Amino acid sequence: MSKSKLIIFNPKSSNGKHRIPNSILQVGASIHHKYDYVLVDGNMEKDPYQKIFDYLKTGEFKYFCSSVMPGPQLRQAIPFTKKVKETFSNITIIWGGYFASNQPNVCMNSNLVDYIVNGPGDVTFPSLLDILEGEKLDTIAFEEKLSKIDNLIFRNSEGTIIKTKKEKLLDQDALPNLPYTYLDFFYPLQNYLAKTFMGKTTLSYHSSMGCPFTCSFCGIVPIFSGRWKGKSAEGIYKDVKYFKEKYAIDAIEFHDNNFFTSKKRVLEFSNLILNDNIKYWGEGRIDTLNKYTDEELSLMKKAGCEMIFLGAETGNDEVLKQMNKGGTQSGKMIKDFAARMKKAGIIAEMSFVLGMPADTEEQVYKQILWDINFIKEIKKINPDTEIIIYLYSPTPTKGSKLYQQILDAGFSFPETLEEWISPSWENFDLRKNPLTPWLKPYMIDTIKNFETVLNGKYPTVSDFRIKGFKKQILGLVSNWRYKTGFYKYPYEIKVLQKIWKYRQPEIEGFYSE
């Protein structure tokens, strides 16, 4: 085992009950029993930088490695990395995660980051360490070796940022098991298992990589380029059985980008888990799940499928084309599938992206109003449908028509890491304040006011505190606005939501204890 130790850091992502940090566990699994590493979870530490500092001041650590997702994680990832670089100049900084992969130039130009793992690091990460820890090479030989590692971004001696070729997605069943027992050594694993609307002990789990579609607004497209690979149903069930027997879990959040891609896998898993009394939530596509028969959806429900997050995006077929949504999804299909989910008894959690660019200001606003009315149609068809509303936030999927359209409209991304952690850009990553020039203040007000009224009329079931008289009062207060379409100044609803600390799952996750 190498004498050069590593810190693998998971920056804080939210203020609620925290889920198992699968991203850093995946990194740890790739080097387990080969390199000596410690885990630091910013969600579980009162002062995570002090923890990092205490490790580094021992002089035993050579690498600071951080998973970096857009949004809240940047508030710790960027300043902590800067402190490490300034205080311990001999430390090598390695970043991974969606932000680092999607914004490599900003990261590398900051002079804070030495290497970026661009996508899955199961092979990339240990291969990089092997070279860094191996025999000393001259500059040319060293860079030649680095350039042969897939999924890697680094700067060569001439100052050029090198991005190596993408690795094929690996057989997920062949990968080493995540080091759950090792995590338990640093943070009691039981503390990550939350009470949610689905159950008293909810496990966060990741069973696949990527997504087979290339939507031009999606942040994972540049990383996976339309590729998907999943664990087998047997492999998933083996892990589920472990957690059920050891921790008595009764619910699972599948945080895959597209859990339902393989119908064969989902149905096999449904049959395996059928009698275990475990409920679950996962993400999928409407046109993929619409290929499941009513009987198959019914089987999923019996097997515990409680809710499915579905990217509806818009009911406007022309805008769906603009988004490069791919597949066969249409406005009519969204309506039909909402009805099918009602019949199956599975809650459809549909996300909509409002505020897409258009040729004129009038057209942008017209599309927003169109989708607001479409959302109300969905609620009429199936009142149990959960609605998640995002403002369109451009994603740097270069080469798409939509990307060129947002550039032509005058939009640009920050050029420094410091700018990325300004309050407005953090909200941008949460899709709440996109800073897009075509979205005018009155348009944003319309969307947010409608969202407030909608959440008053139909509070999310995932926040299990809002029930009984609270739910009734919110519904009564919001009903007249919802029916008349008068959404302006919904202060009475906002006051109640603030008093009861209403939780929006799109930016805060499910309410959990």
Question: Quick check: is 146 in a domain?
Answer: yes
Judge whether 438 lies within some domain: no
- Does 159 lie in the same domain as 198? no
Residues 245 and 284 in one domain: yes
Q: Is residue 329 located within the same domain as residue 394?
A: yes
In a domain, 463, yes or no: no
Q: Residue holding tokens 């989902």? A: 266
Mean of the per-residue pLDDT values for the chain? 90
- pLDDT for position 135: 87
Same domain, 328 and 366: yes
Q: Single out the residue in 383, 405, 427 at which a domain terminates.
A: 405
Residues 339 and 394 in one domain: yes
Sign, CA dihedral 437-442-443-444, equals positive
Q: Are 69 and 201 part of one and the same domain?
A: no
Contact 90, 31 (CB under 8 A): no
> Does 364 lie in the same domain as 226?
yes
- Strand 251-254 to 347-354 pairing: unpaired
Q: Model-level pTM?
A: 0.91
Residue after which a domain boundary falls, among 405, 435, 458: 405
CA dihedral 289, 292, 296, 299 (to 10 degrees): 0
Same domain (yes/no): 244, 332:
yes
Residues 264 and 371 in one domain: yes
CATH code: domain of residue 144: 3.40.50.280
Establish if 38 belongs to a structural domain: yes
Query: Minimal CA–CA distance to 258: which of 295, 294, 221, 222?
Result: 221
In the chain, what is the straight-line distance between the N-terminal and C-terminal CA atoms, in Å?
Answer: 39
Please list, in sequence order, all residues whose beta carbon lies within 8 angstroms of the beta carbon of residue 423, skipping any fewer than 6 positions away: none
Q: Exposed e or buried b for every residue in 374-387, given b needs 16+ CB within 10 A?
A: bbbebbebbeebbb
Number of Cα atoms under 13 Å in the Cβ half of residue 483: 6
Q: Do 85 and 203 fall into the same domain?
A: no
Same structural domain, 288 and 149 = no
Identify the domain containing residue 69 by its residue range: 5-163
Q: What is the DSSP string of 27-87?
A: HHHHHTTTS-EEEEETTT-SSHHHHHHHHHTTT-EEEEEEE--SSTTHHHHHHHHHHHHHH
User: pLDDT band for position 399 (50/70/90)?
Assistant: low
**pLDDT value at position 30?**
97
- Verify that 12 and 95 share a domain, yes or no: yes
Has residue 452 been placed in a domain? no
The C-alpha R_g of the chain, in whole angstroms, comes to 23
Residues 262-301: pLDDT tens digits? 999 999 999 999 999 999 999 999 999 999 999 999 999 9
What share of the chain in percent tops pLDDT 90? Answer: 72
On whether the CB atoms of residues 489 and 474 are closer than 8 A, the answer is no
CB atoms within 10 A of CB 109: 15
Q: What is the pLDDT of residue 33?
A: 94
**What gap in Å lies between CA 250 and CA 252, rounded to an integer?**
7
Residue 78: pLDDT above 80? yes
Residue 126 in domain: yes
| Domain end position, chosen among 365, 389, 405 | 405
Q: How many domains in the chain?
A: 2
| Residue labelled with tokens 């077929």 | 317
Residue 221 backbone dihedrals phi, psi, to 5 degrees? -60, -45
- What CATH number is attached to the domain comprising 309? 3.80.30.20
Q: Residue 70: name the closest of 106, 38, 28 by CA.
A: 106
- Report pLDDT digits (tens) over 118-164: 999 999 999 999 999 998 899 999 999 999 999 999 999 999 999 99
Residues 343-348: what's their mean pLDDT? 97
